[in-house]
Amino acid sequence: MRNLRNIRYNVWNSDANPNSDAITSACWDPAKDELLCTIGPDVVNGRIQLMRVVDHVRASSIDIECQEVASWNAPSPNPDLAVDRVVSLHHFADTLTTCLVLEGGDIVIVRESETSTSSDDVHIEIMGSIDEGITGASWSPDEELLAITTKAHTAIFMSRTFDLITDMAMTAEDLNASKHVSVGWGKKETQFQGKGAKALRDPTIPEKVDQGVISPSDNGRTTISWRGDGAYVAINAIEDSIRRVIRVYSRDGVLDSVSEPVDHMESALSWRPAGNLLASIQRLEDRVDVIFFERNGLRHGQFTLRPPEGTTLIKGEIQLSWNSDSTVLSVSFDDRIQLWTMGNYHWYLKQEIFTGNKPTGFAWHPEKPLRFGASVAERLVQAEYIFEVAHGSLTPPYDYGAVAVVDGQTLKVTPFRTANIPPPMAMYELLVSSPVVDVAFSPANTFMAVLHQTGVDLYEWTTHQHRSTPPRLLGATKFAQTHSGDRLLPLQISVSETSSVHCLCAGEGPLIHAQRFDPSTGEVHPASTMYAGSMFGFTRLTQATSEDVVTQDALGRFHAVAEQTDELYSVSHNSQLPWSELVDLAGDVIAIGLSRNGHLYANTRLLVKNCTSFLVTPAHLIITTTNHLLKFIHLTDVEAMEVPPDDPEADERCRSIERGARLVTAMPTNMSLVLQMPRGNLETIFPRAMVVAGIRKLIEALDYERAFAFCRTQRVDMNILFDHKPDQFLANVGLFLEQIGDVANIDLFLSSLRDEDVTQTMYRDTKARQGPNGGDEPGQQTGTGAGASKVNLICDAVLSHLQSRKTKDHGTLQNIITSFICKSPPAFEDGLRVVYALMKEDEQLAEKAVEHICFLADVNTLYDAALGLYHLDLALLVAQQSQRDPREYLPFIQDLHRLPKLRMKFTIDDHLNRHEKALAHLKDAQAHQEAQDYTVKHSLYPAALKMYRYDATNLAIIRALYATFLESRSKYREAGLIYESLQDYPAATRCYRAAGVSCWRECLFTAYQQKPPLSPEAMTELATTLAEAVYEAKDYAAAATIHLDHLDSLEAAIPCLCKGYHFADAMRLCVQRQRPDLLPTLLDTGLADALGSSTEFLADCKAQLLAQVPRIVELRHKAAEDPLGFYEGERTGGADIPDDVSVAASSRVTAGGASLFTRYTGKNSVGTLGTGVSRATSKNRRREEKKRARGRKGTVYEEEYLVNSVRRLAERVETTRPDIERLVAGLVRRDMLDRARAIETLAAEVVDACQKAIKEVFPGKGVEARKQGEGQEGEEEWRPVGADAVLAETLEAAWRTQEAPIVTAFEKMSLLG
């Protein structure tokens, strides 16, 4: 589908007399991108001139300068050779050396100076000579071997230093090297012939066997061609006037194969660089074919050349040459050069370049595949082409998918929106008077201009009912000839919506001819001409209404030439970009351009470096990459353009495509894209980004019908119809239902709904929104309300509209039922009520409705819901739609018919396990005893309490049953409360006592309330038991209260208060009860015990801090110094640590069998695929959690364990602070000042140690200040570098995230000094 479009055409004319000084050969200097050519020798002058042709690119023109490199006399060394001839010309860019191989046998090198361009500094040397003479020569692609054929029928291989490698004689015995067996590639005998006798023939035996007859027009020359990798070389020569044969030699000079005999094969030979085919010429009586051979010498297809109009190819020399990437085959005739390409096994004639005279040399550029130089007598032609698809507008509604393919004088045109026809076929084939050069479409696809060698044809293209009609010829014009021999060479064409045609031509200089066609009459207005300067081609405009004509010059600038005036655009590229397009975004013009090396630019900003093709639609810039991905870039401001990542699974803007696929055209109206594979076949796809963008536009245009159709055909979640514009949808539910129309489609939409907002998940709009207030943006479901279900909201809106209709047909009722069933949760009862209402009006309609509702939901669930409505006839109708045996449900329904109404409802609700409703029916039926039994059976106590709230008699019974139930479930406190409210104090006391220490007050209260009262012994025993229980629970104040108030034992209360550090209360009670004798006995003893336990606790805390804090510092220093050694431990065998250690994840396995990050995960084996990781089982996870909890010394979890231990210690110290303060006050009051001073000092030390430990273990925000302070003291701080610094920063960040415990300073009593 791609055409060859010219982007450069320069001609250098020799100043000398063309009859005496002709250009005889040419080659490329790829380093300087310049051509070298030779002039002479000829019969008149035996001198050879080596010339270098240099281009000077300027803003106003491209000037060509010719510099003479060297010249020398080259007389013929052979008397039989009248004049010498340059057989091979090759330039070595690395050594600035040019090698000439002459027919007379001389091999000459010309070495240029690196510092001087003067011809005086050039070194010319004859490296050797072959006396027999040379018939052909060619350098290998790697420039290491020179293959030479001599007039003595020998082949010679030389090295770059011209040392002989091998010398082979080409004899008739070589013809026996290959025994050919033809399998009939592309032959008629291998095709299906029907049931006739020909079908029984052996297809391997052709009807006619060629003998290798030499062509009468054979020039007798020998041709050499190398394969692209330089491993083989082919030599085409005549063998003893028997036949022409192609010999294939290996790089070592070993004969590999010879070609099969082919009649009238000529000297042309070119080996495709890809290596699969060798091309040659076969001149038959009625045609000339380009024939192909495999490396083994067997034929492999052919195609017929097309002679120029009015001429034949019976005579004249024909030469072949493949370009460097094997995409174009050039065929040189006596007066023109043809460029052929192949796609889908069809050969296209893409360009025919008129030269006037016979090309004496043709050379493809070795690095730029579509650039060549051709020497034609006194002229040297340089031309460059690009592959470009000639497609029409991509702007809706003009995106017909129009694509034009050039094939000689035939133009193949296909509108892909009308018909997807694969090449080489086409929907329309237009015959042109001469070979087509270029084709262009107007921005709105109204006109199509065809440029051919002799003029321009303008076609009008219209559509009928959204289908394209055949293009209609409006008019044609011929190029005028100013005088005899002058020929205008057309290069490119452009057509605007005003039917104005601009043509870029090469004549005396680059010119732009402008002509205006009158569409009504077909008349052509006189042409105007302007100088093109360095403009090399027209640039496509994406705006369909544009009337501009834009060109690009060699400096990347854009010029408007519509009015034959040169006006520069404000945007430009940094350099010439062969593929370019201008986009107008509301007045903001963006130039999209692609360079030869795959760099894609938006103005001067580089977007990607691996682009292979691109298209521009009104919404997207679509590209393909060398990673075989299709990407969509939203068209916004240049700086805001975002290229999606290479993640086709996560981003809808990226999609995988077939290897080597290229973009052909896009049709946003159809949301489709056409790609061409490397073989030439086409593939039409519907990319998700394009489809979703199109659906969004249709929704915004209220075209729900097409949006729904695309959602259905492209498998797009239909929730987007609501989620994209929720408020708009709710306001236009009637329009939506009217457009969708079909009942099944509405049901499909309703059944696809779910509460997920797809515009925030799978179809998130990746285009950046402009401005903070975007209106009704997707995802902002303002109409749903907070916490409301989206599904229910849509179903309610649909129901509201459907139920408001005056007449309800079957389809409307079906949609109503679907809306009820699709709610979340499904409203089965509402749907069944609709069916029940239909049963009274139309039984047949009701049966259809039941069938539909049973299709939507489980029939068993519907049967239960119908029973729950207490409509037995409806339940029977639903049951009949199920697969149940009638014996299962008929007797049950019959029994229900015989029951009273309340009893029937109770039976149904009990059957459906709706126990609360069943209990309500029993209450309504005054069956209180049965209701109490039913409550106990199904534990319906809360519901029963609510029902009997105002029935005191039955309420007391239910509460008693509930208390018994709670007591059986060990909920003693609740049971005690109920017993107490029922004045059942013995049971309440029992429950409170069983509830534990939290209910000791309630227990003693109900014990005193019992009638008859408890005995003193029982009361004492109860109080003693409760006191012991609260003492064990460490509620010492409560225990003291029980001993004092209920047991009247001050001696037992004082130790309890001292145990709880309530020394002030103990002293007060001793004086209040007039028992000061207890102060030196019980109180002082309690003080001494508290002092001892506190001293022991503080000493343990101090020792723990002294042991753990230095260990934490040591571990952190080790981890920062040597992370590999810290996390992996000692290496076995004392192996040295490699110098490529990194803390980044790698698949390297350590000497111990575990990697850096699997040593402490229980995985000692290396998994597959080089990951070294396996899924941890639950057993391994539990084992690892135990290791982490233990924090054993030497493991990676030791630091974490120690840090948590310090945290717990600090929290305990802060918790015990009030107890120590009360202890110090008690000691002071009892005149134990030394003891008070000692415990206070110890407590202050521990608190100070905790504060220091917190600063050390939990650095927090103070770590920087501490480091600065240390640095000011003059100590050199160790700082990790490299990979160690990464780990150190990670650990430091982990420390800072931990919240440090708070320990306030301990304030000493001033009394103690």
| pLDDT tens digits, 1150-1160 | 334 444 344 34
Q: How far is CA 807 from CA 738, 810, 947, in A?
A: 15, 10, 45
C-alpha span between 386 and 612 (Å, rounded): 13
Give the model confidence (pLDDT) of 1059-1072 as tens digits. 888 988 889 989 88
Whether residue 888 has pLDDT greater than 90: no
Whether residue 544 has pLDDT greater than 80: no
Written as six digits, the tokens of 413 are 């045109």
- 1303 and 1250 in contact (C-beta within 8 Å)? yes
Whether residue 448 has pLDDT greater than 90: yes
Would you call the peptide bond into 397 cis, given omega within 30 degrees of 0 as the criterion?
yes
Indicate the pLDDT class of residue 569, thresholds 50, 70 and 90.
confident
C-alpha span between 493 and 504 (Å, rounded): 6
Give the model confidence (pLDDT) of 229-252 as tens digits. 999 999 999 988 788 999 999 999
Position 135 scores a pLDDT of: 93
C-alpha span between 95 and 419 (Å, rounded): 56
C-alpha span between 1308 and 1236 (Å, rounded): 10
C-alpha span between 1066 and 1082 (Å, rounded): 9
Give the model confidence (pLDDT) of 783-839 as tens digits. 444 457 899 999 999 999 988 887 777 888 888 989 999 888 888 888 888 888 888
Whether residue 1137 has pLDDT greater than 70: no
Whether residue 168 has pLDDT greater than 80: yes
C-alpha span between 321 and 268 (Å, rounded): 9
Average pLDDT over residues 517-530: 80
- The pTM for the full model equals 0.75
Give the model confidence (pLDDT) of 31-44 as tens digits. 999 999 999 888 87
Indicate the pLDDT class of residue 1048, thresholds 50, 70 and 90.
confident
Indicate the pLDDT class of residue 405, thresholds 50, 70 and 90.
very high
Specify the DSSP element, H or E, that contains 1295: helix 1283-1297
Q: How far is CA 314 from CA 54, 70, 269, 592, in A?
A: 38, 40, 18, 48
32 CB-near residues (< 8 Å, 6+ apart): 93
Written as six digits, the tokens of 122 are 């050039």
- The answer to whether the Cα torsion of 1113, 1119, 1122, 1128 is positive or negative is positive
Whether residue 1139 has pLDDT greater than 90: no
Written as six digits, the tokens of 435 are 């070979």
Position 786 scores a pLDDT of: 45
Average pLDDT over residues 1179-1193: 71
Which segment, 32-41, 172-181, 1116-1125, 1176-1185, is predicted with the most confidence on average?
32-41
337 CB-near residues (< 8 Å, 6+ apart): 330, 331, 352, 353, 355, 359, 362, 374
Give the model confidence (pLDDT) of 463-490 as tens digits. 877 778 889 998 889 887 643 345 678 9
- 855 and 839 in contact (C-beta within 8 Å)? no
Average pLDDT over residues 123-142: 93
- 92 and 27 in contact (C-beta within 8 Å)? no
Indicate the pLDDT class of residue 1266, thresholds 50, 70 and 90.
very low
Q: What is the mean pLDDT of the chain?
A: 84
